[in-house]
Chain A
Amino acid sequence: MTWRLGFASNDQYTFANTVLAVADGQLHITDPVYGPSSGATPGSYLVDGRVYGRNYGIVLLSTVWYVCLRTVSVVADVRVLLTGLWSLALVVVATRFGERFDRRRAGSLGGAAVAGSLFALSLLVVDPLSSWWLPQIALQLTTALATAAVAVVCYRLVTRLSNRRLGVATAVATVAATPIGFWATLPKRHSVTVMLVVCAMYTLFRSRDARTDGTALQFRALTYVWPALLAWVHAPHGFILLVAVGVVDLPTARTNGARELLTVGVAFGVALLPFFLTNTLISGNPVAPPRFLPDYSGDVLTADAELSSAVTDGGESGGGGLLGGLPLPVGGIVSRFVGSYLALLEPARLFRVFVHTGYVSSLRPAQDAAINLSVLASMPLLGALLAYPVLAARWLTARSDWTFSPRTWSPTRAMDAFTVVYVFLLLGLYFRSLPLHHMLTVRYLHPLYLLGVYWLVRLPAVRRVVAMEPRSLALSYGGTVLVALPAYLGAIAVGGLVLDESIQLYALAALGVAVGVGGWAVAAELRGRYTQAGAVALGVGAGAMTVYLLVAGLSLFPTTGEFLLPASRVVSEQIQYARLIGSSPPY
């Protein structure tokens, strides 16, 4: 729905340029089509006079899509094709939904009718798609599919952890009630990061849960593949995922025999090959990923060929010594983590990042737009985590035997440990830089929302609500969306709100919802009752975020007014009165 065509942040120019470069058979950018003509966009790096992009794991996969789309576009319109695929997916979902309730025929007919009319309507309002957007669409296809995979893996994981109904609720909540839906079609690393983290969680669980040792070992080896692939996309993220997996896996595995460790090591090594290969081709050093290379500042790809060759020579002589034995900046990494953990002790900063961001006066004047939400406002359902201190207190008082033997942990316990370790490392990696501009939903901590969903599912009170009150939950969710969506749009229109104001209005409302959810969760865990109230609280919490996802996607953030789905463009144009779009940004 909110698949918009546009460059929301400027390193996306780099990705699109890199896709074009890779499609031409080279890793470095020679002819930047997107962004400034110098090609100096964030995320581009200079090595030996050549300009490289980053996140090659995403870029290479997207290039496959790009080549496919480019071929198709010779004879057909890509927009119509993708709209059709989207409608087809709608039919399939409706059919499956019908099967679940033993109304297969009604489901498939209803789905086909809705999807068919949507597609027909789209054909009426469609305009031909410029091939200019194809690299961007290819990148978005990768991240959107990654998000779909997140929903599927969440469903499978929770179905195995508990039951199918909770699995469905989790999948829906992951996409519709967290910022994971927000970043689905924004071609940055976040969707793919979350996908690889949830895959690691799933295989880790399967390796503990497996009946035979053989299956356990297969899944265990697979668990180490994901960090390796993630390193290919974003090396620091891959590193912390590897540490989290290792810290939890090694003490809790069935055995740590030579055969097991060798298998795991081989799987990890093989999965790291693309990472090594790309790094070697770029920097000549297999363990120096693009992020540790010098930034490109825009003096090589200027129009003047002679000038650029002169600069190239300079770059080579200057860069050679640095890259010869480029050490990983170990000191910098350690001080980064230490700084982050020290920063966690600052109450004001904690409040800004987790509770309410608002206007941050410490940002630079060009970057201080109050368009960022706090963690809690990005996912009001997280308020329910307030119940964990209650559970912890009860657990501490009830427990008499203090033994620590990870070997006997249940699969679920191992998962809990993994989520805690991973979030601790994630905070270490990024907390020092927060609050920062252009975070929108504190995107640096993005995987936190996935783990937040997991922690919600682990709350007994939440499980009770989903098991006992599914109907009330669905009703309160649907009702919230139906009421709050026009209310929010109306407030923006009547109040003549600008972008910052609209977002901060939502942030305040979401904070209230989160407090409500938290209050319910604490009361429910203390008393063990209030499932009806819980259905209302969780429904409103999820619905609030869905409303924000829809309004942000269709009205607040479209930069060009172009959408992949023609119907979305029509809807978006109808809510232009929100005073937020229809006028180009003042560049």
Chain B
Amino acid sequence: MTRVGLLAFSVVVVVGAIAVGPFGVGTAETDTGDSADVTLESAPTDTLVLERGRFGSGRYHIDAPPAVVTVGDVTGTPTLRYTIDIPEAWLTLTSRYDLAGRSGRLRMGASPATVSPERVDQGQYDAVVAVWLRTGVRERSLAQRRVTVEPRQSVSPPDCWRAGRSSWPTSAVPCSGRCSGTDSGQRWRLPRSSGSA
């Protein structure tokens, strides 16, 4: 009984594998031109925060709002890219979204890439936020904006304990994981003198 079952199962597997294979169904997809109607609804304009990782993870990442677009009339396989470029911190964030099969609002989150604290040695950085639409081999920008990025140190619970603040987690004010030097008046300290221009 079990042997018959296993045999039947094996037959199903083989038939399925061949059906999806090169001689099977759904392989005759032809390539059509890429196109899409994309409207940019919002992209970050204010100051972005370069936030230090919590839980003792050390590196910095961008805490930026998503870029929101409305997508319609998609044909082919166009793609959208949401980029934040911070040359002086050696950091380019790119998040890429395939538009095939999509329509309506699309929230594109910033890439969660991180950068070493060794590379974060200024109090402020210039950055360019951009949204790119790629159709075929062409890529055009829907928006390009110059913004400012400020590093901020968040304090993770172990750091709070080390600093002798016993209030975590009952009081969320000083150590909620987001407490920053800029808010409490103490500016971001430069870890070492800046080498770049």
Residues of A that sit less than 8 Å from B by CB: 72-81, 83-85, 87-88, 91-92, 95, 104-105, 108, 112, 115-116, 119, 123, 126, 128, 358-359, 361, 365-366, 368-370, 495-501, 503-505, 507-508, 579-580, 582-586
Contacts and interface: CB of A to CB of B under 8 A. Distances in A.
A26 to B, nearest CB: 28
Given A85-B13, A87-B9, A505-B55, A123 B20 contact: yes
B21 A73 contact: yes
Contacts of B134: none
Contact of A84 (B16, B112, B177): B16
A208 B105 CA distance: 69
B171 interface: no
A88 B13 contact: yes
B148 interface: no
B44 interface: no
B53 interface: yes
A365 B118 contact: yes
B174 interface: no
Interface string B84-96: 0000000111111
A586 to B, nearest CB: 5
Interface in B20-64: 20-24, 26-27, 53-59, 61, 63
Given A368-B59, A508-B55, A75 B12 contact: no
A369 B112 CA distance: 12
A75 B18 CA distance: 6
A358 B56 contact: yes
Contact of A584 (B14, B96, B177): B96
Given A77-B20, A85-B13, A128-B20, 19 more contacts: A73-B22, A75-B22, A75-B23, A81-B13, A84-B10, A105-B1, A119-B16, A361-B58, A369-B59, A495-B177, A499-B114, A504-B55, A583-B109, A583-B110, A583-B112, A584-B95, A586-B93, A586-B94, A586-B111
27 contacts: A77-B21, A80-B13, A87-B13, A91-B6, A108-B2, A112-B5, A112-B9, A115-B9, A119-B16, A128-B22, A359-B56, A359-B57, A361-B117, A495-B54, A496-B63, A498-B61, A498-B112, A499-B114, A500-B58, A504-B53, A579-B109, A582-B95, A582-B109, A583-B109, A583-B110, A584-B95, A586-B93
B5 to A, nearest CB: 6
Q: Name the residue among B21, B111, B117, B118 with the largest chain A CB count within 10 angstroms.
A: B21
A583 B56 CA distance: 24
B119 interface: yes
B109 A80 contact: no
B173 interface: no
Given A76-B21, A95-B2, A88 B114 contact: no
Contacts of B117: 361, 368
Interface of B: 1-2, 5-6, 9-10, 12-14, 16-24, 26-27, 53-59, 61, 63, 91-97, 109-114, 116-119, 158, 177
B94 to A, nearest CB: 5
B20 A80 contact: yes
Contact of B6 (A80, A88, A105, A585): A88
Contacts of A584: 94-96, 111
A500 B116 CA distance: 11
A104 B118 CA distance: 61
A105 B2 CA distance: 8
Contact of A128 (B21, B56, B119): B21
Given A108-B2, A583-B96, A586-B111, A358 B57 contact: yes
Contacts of A501: 53-55, 57
Contacts of B24: 77
A76 B18 contact: yes
A76 B110 CA distance: 39
If over half of A's interface residues share one DSSP class (helix, strand or loop), that class is named, otherwise mixed; here it is: helix
A119 B12 contact: yes
A84 B56 contact: no
B109 A365 contact: no
Contacts of B111: 583-586
Contacts of A507: 55
Contacts of B10: 84, 88
Contacts of A87: 9, 13
A108 B3 CA distance: 10
Contact of B58 (A73, A88, A368): A368
Q: Name the residue among B9, B16, B18, B22 with the largest chain A CB count within 10 angstroms.
A: B16
A562 to B, nearest CB: 13
Contacts of B53: 359, 370, 498, 500-501, 504
A277 B23 CA distance: 42
A586 B12 CA distance: 42
Contacts of B119: 365
A358 B17 CA distance: 45
For the complex of A and B, the 9 pairs showing the least CB-CB separation, nearest first, are A359-B58, A84-B13, A583-B95, A365-B116, A500-B57, A76-B17, A504-B55, A77-B20, A498-B112
Contacts of A108: 1-2, 5
B17 to A, nearest CB: 4
Contacts of A582: 95, 97, 109
Nearest to A72: B17
A584 B92 CA distance: 12
Nearest to B51: A498
A74 B16 contact: no
Contacts of B113: 585-586
B85 to A, nearest CB: 10
Nearest to A580: B112
Given A365-B118, A495-B177, A508 B54 contact: no
A501 B51 CA distance: 11
Contacts of A358: 56-58
Contact of B118 (A91, A368, A495, A504): A368
Contacts of A85: 13
A372 to B, nearest CB: 11
Nearest to A82: B17
Nearest to B63: A496
A557 to B, nearest CB: 13
Q: Name the residue among A80, A105, A119 with the largest chain B CB count within 10 angstroms.
A: A80
Contacts of A76: 14, 17-18, 20-21
Contact of B57 (A84, A112, A504): A504
Nearest to B92: A586
Contacts of B97: 582
Contacts of A586: 91-94, 111, 113
B68 to A, nearest CB: 15
Nearest to A583: B95
B13 A368 contact: no
A131 to B, nearest CB: 10
A365 B112 CA distance: 17
Contacts of B18: 75-77
Nearest to A496: B63
B17 A81 contact: yes
